[in-house]
Structure 1
Amino acid sequence: MGIIAFIIIGLIAGLIARAILPGKQSMGLLATTLLGMVGSLVGGLIGSLFSRNGHFFDIRPSGIIMSVIGAIIVLLLVGAVGRRRVHA
């Protein structure tokens, strides 16, 4: 997968993750794209644990779904760290 495709899928995964999770996430377009890209890596790593084919960077519907799930996990972690920092 090329870097442009990785960025576009990251943006889409980040936007979907932010739309699924309730609450206010004060992120710009760049932060949303980075969220989706990191989520894509996290989702790919999680997906590779359950896959036997070894195709890590192929574009498939299951990979896009795992990218969104990974972005949701990253967004939850960022939210938890942010809340802990505010209350401390």
Structure 2
Amino acid sequence: MEISGIISAIVIGIIIGVLGRLVVPGRQKIGILWTIVVGILAALAGAAIAKAFGVKDTNGIDWIEWLIQIALAAVGVAALASIKTGGRGRGRR
């Protein structure tokens, strides 16, 4: 992978990770680096899923691919936040 590909993956990871964090209600006690890692993984997995369903390369903006990636990032952020807080929810203390 070239340096431009790595930079692109980081930028997309930041965007997807932040959007995924915004979807999850409440405060997540994970750092920005974990958000970026979750975003990069969600972007890669979402692109693979979109390609498998044949919706990756469309004319214009690939909204379905973005929605898949953001949903995966939200699940990843929620799972990581749950692991980091020991599974405590908002109502249980």
Scaled by the length of structure 1, the TM-score of the pair is: 0.69
- How far does the alpha carbon of each residue in 1:3-49 deviate from its partner, in whole angstroms, 9 at most, with x for none? 11110010011101111110221122211111100111221232122
- Report whether the alignment pairs 1:7 with 2:10: yes
Aligned pairs, number: 79
Match of 1:42 in 2: 45
Larger Rg: 2
Identity of aligned residues (%): 29
Q: Which is helix-richer, 1 or 2?
A: 1
Match of 2:67 in 1: 65
Out of 16, 20, 24, the residue aligned to residue 17 of structure 1 is 20
Distance in 1 between the 2:74 and 2:40 partners?
12
Q: Are the aligned partners of 2:30 and 2:81 in contact in 1 as well (CA < 8 Å)?
A: no
Q: Are the aligned partners of 1:9 and 1:36 in contact in 2 as well (CA < 8 Å)?
A: yes
Alignment root-mean-square deviation, CA: 2.5
Distance in 2 between the 1:48 and 1:80 partners?
30
